[in-house]
Chain A
């Protein structure tokens, strides 16, 4: 990769003064950037900084309110994705735009504007996928593919149209660290062939490793531009959040008695596209955080449902809370035993969207004094709700505001706060900071650590490895519905966990299973 290659070239894409205002929020205001052929250009910013909106404007999904797009020296008004594709702009979405019940070639055929006979298209898919090191079988059904493989389909779909500009929206959030390296190789190869790449991310290490230039967005405006390899994580973070990145710290603490025990739990997924749980064993003690890493779709949803009681286990003793078998109890009864949980979907599972925050407190807090003789005590409910809002700094119009009116981060703070203040003995949290801005994420992580220090046992399921390394006493990996043995973060590395994430923990530690007392767990006890 020779940097000087593109620096003298004329820009391929120039955005000037782009603005997009929604009734309640300004997504983009006066955003300008330019990309040259062969340049990997990072668009860096927190969640909600306006990165995705900007990309959708370039790809013709969203119409800008102001500003101009100069493409190859011509002003263009891009009104539809098909038009963007004709100009040579391809986009790989953060949430994949694939049809699960269709095959790879059908998915690709749908996005192509020209008609290519099936056999010929399949041959081209194989050819392009092999050329860029992204092997895929054109006749496979998408729902049988892993998330990483689906991303390959997305990328190959773009590459078949020989794009001049490829937009990648948070491409690594669903990949194992090893898959990220492969992806980077592909992107560098593309860039060396003259393709421009717009790389959207909030992961600073990745941007410094991959990108030639960076435009940083904050609150919808450009807060700076940089050459990432000349910057540090701290200096980029300052541009991104306008302050310092605070770190969480775990003070070493001796875990106490076992509070949650899962014993040889196997459960067939009820969703044909889901992952069945296979022989899961884990123990959580008082005052410790067990982090569960893994790429989404490897059984996280199913594990959450089994632990919360949404799915019942075949045998009551497969899940024990405080030593009592609860495997066949419903969620309300498990809550009565001191379990609380924060599900991944905030709207719909964590909170009822059209109801007020106060009623949403009642939803899980009914057993803790808000209801007497079947009647709601509104004053208790409201004061509880107010306390959560105040303690967790939830930005909202008060406890009467409707759950769906809050931003993702604020609602998550409210839900975590609600579950925390119910004084649990065990708390299970799925994707605690997904789509949450850095400040709120920090507050949520600290709240989880505070709970641990008060002696609560926590299970945190997350895709963010950095986060898990930060807040976990032990880390285990869920891959293909199986759970690896758990290790202390200090005794492992991101690379090691990455290998486990691809399901290879049995190879690394022969005979190791979370169920057998492993060397590591014995050392730990």
Chain B
């Protein structure tokens, strides 16, 4: 029973960066833009956050710097795909390559240096409750903010009028333009939001999970976040469930490896990916679910013609 507590705790820590990155990308893709550059924006966020936190000693500044760095990179993407109408897939891939290279270059002298891990917060009265306190009220502030982000994104997409406009633009930018909606501006804001969350996701790796800067430390988490968005059929709830599932199985297999079970470790390492894919494939086994939920204009450039 008590072994569950550390596993849940590490699951939450493993899932949090995925939640930030995937929720951001959900909003971006709902507006009809496909940004494959998450991995690059995460790495830039990781190195920027690490450098800023080390320089100032403040984690808050670190996360703010990470978000700003992610936004800067996403603005490049936005300018290329929205203004110059380059191919979104190619531009996104280029952004990832650029982010990988730039973060390694900038972070060359930071590799291996220590930084204080963002400490869990203590909630008076709640954290002290046995088991429940450890399970629910013993995390760092970014975990609680990720829950708030989920609630916010869910509300924004399903309840708010701007969210409705964003979804409408994702379905048909031409129609949205015809009824006078600002297609480019809305898409820009979505891309910027996605950049900020990807940057924060990266900083969570270098300031909480590891906590240090290692070249290429996102190790494919940006791609996992992208896959979660698709398999979660662009619905925030499913995306978050997928992220916790992936984080949970990742931690489970680490624990399992520790018990020296008679299963090849390669299989255990494969488990998180396989489990996530299987569960999400079951969720959306009806191809209509994808067709009905996928933003119809996803990945297509839009040129407003007067």
Contacts and interface: CB of A to CB of B under 8 A. Distances in A.
Interface of A: 61-63, 80-82, 85, 93, 97-102, 106, 109-111, 115, 143, 271-272
Contacts of B161: 109, 115
A63 B305 CA distance: 11
Given A81-B179, A101-B293, A272-B288, 12 more contacts: A61-B306, A81-B178, A97-B175, A98-B175, A99-B171, A99-B172, A99-B175, A101-B292, A106-B164, A110-B164, A110-B176, A143-B292
Contacts of A102: 164, 167-168, 171
A269 to B, nearest CB: 11
A109 B164 CA distance: 9
B1 interface: no
B180 A81 contact: yes
Closest 8 CB pairs of A and B: A82-B180, A81-B180, A272-B288, A97-B175, A272-B291, A111-B179, A99-B171, A99-B168
Given A101-B292, A102-B164, A110 B181 contact: yes
Contacts of A62: 306
B135 interface: no
B237 to A, nearest CB: 17
B8 interface: no
A271 B171 CA distance: 16
14 contacts: A61-B178, A61-B306, A81-B180, A97-B178, A99-B171, A99-B175, A101-B167, A101-B293, A101-B296, A102-B167, A102-B168, A110-B168, A272-B291, A272-B292
Contacts of B180: 80-82, 85
B165 interface: yes
Given A115-B161, A272-B288, A272-B291, A100 B171 contact: yes
A118 to B, nearest CB: 9
Contacts, number: 49
A93 B179 CA distance: 11
A111 B168 CA distance: 11
Contacts of B179: 81, 97, 110-111
Interface in B111-170: 161, 164-165, 167-168
Contacts of A99: 167-168, 171-172, 175-176
A485 B161 CA distance: 48
Contacts of A272: 288, 291-292
Contacts of B293: 101
Nearest to B174: A97
Q: For chain B, which range describes its interface: under 10, 10 to 19, 20 to 34, or 35 or more residues?
A: 10 to 19
Contacts of B178: 61, 81, 93, 97
Nearest to B290: A272
Contacts of B171: 99-102
Most chain A C-beta atoms within 10 Å of own C-beta, residue among B171, B178, B180: B180
A109 B179 CA distance: 11
A434 B144 CA distance: 58
A348 B183 CA distance: 26
A115 B164 CA distance: 12
Contacts of A106: 164, 168
A111 to B, nearest CB: 5
A102 B178 CA distance: 17
Contacts of B176: 99, 110
A82 B172 CA distance: 18
A115 B161 CA distance: 8
A101 B293 CA distance: 8
A272 B296 CA distance: 13
A143 B171 CA distance: 12
Interface in B271-301: 288, 291-293, 296
Most chain B C-beta atoms within 10 Å of own C-beta, residue among A81, A101, A106, A111: A101
Contacts of A93: 178
B288 to A, nearest CB: 4
A166 to B, nearest CB: 15
B55 to A, nearest CB: 45
Contacts of A61: 178, 306
A312 to B, nearest CB: 18
Nearest to B159: A118
A417 B285 CA distance: 45
A418 B306 CA distance: 35
B172 A110 contact: no
Contacts of A81: 178-180
Contacts of B288: 272
A114 to B, nearest CB: 11
Most chain B C-beta atoms within 10 Å of own C-beta, residue among A82, A98, A110: A110
B35 to A, nearest CB: 21
B149 to A, nearest CB: 24
A62 B304 CA distance: 11
A249 to B, nearest CB: 42
Nearest to A63: B306
A104 B267 CA distance: 49
A61 B288 CA distance: 34
A101 B306 CA distance: 26
Given A99-B171, A99-B172, A110 B291 contact: no
B167 to A, nearest CB: 7
Most chain A C-beta atoms within 10 Å of own C-beta, residue among B165, B178, B181, B306: B178
Nearest to A98: B175
A134 to B, nearest CB: 19
A97 to B, nearest CB: 4
A19 to B, nearest CB: 15
A101 B176 CA distance: 13
A67 to B, nearest CB: 16
Contacts of A85: 180
Contacts of A271: 291
Nearest to A62: B306
A140 to B, nearest CB: 14
Contacts of B167: 99, 101-102
A85 B293 CA distance: 31
Contacts of A143: 292
Interface string B214-230: 00000000000000000
Nearest to B179: A111
Nearest to A81: B180
A133 B171 CA distance: 30
Interface string B168-200: 100110011011110000000000000000000
Given A80-B180, A82-B180, A100-B171, A110 B292 contact: no
A272 B180 CA distance: 28
A63 to B, nearest CB: 6
Nearest to A97: B175
Interface in B250-271: none
Contacts of B175: 97-99
Contacts of A63: 306
Contacts of B306: 61-63
B304 to A, nearest CB: 10
Contacts of A82: 180
A82 B178 CA distance: 10
A106 B158 CA distance: 11
A110 B165 contact: yes
Contacts of B168: 99, 102, 106, 110
Contacts of B164: 102, 106, 109-110
A271 B164 CA distance: 24
Contacts of B181: 110
B245 to A, nearest CB: 26
Nearest to A118: B159
A99 B172 CA distance: 7
A143 B288 CA distance: 13
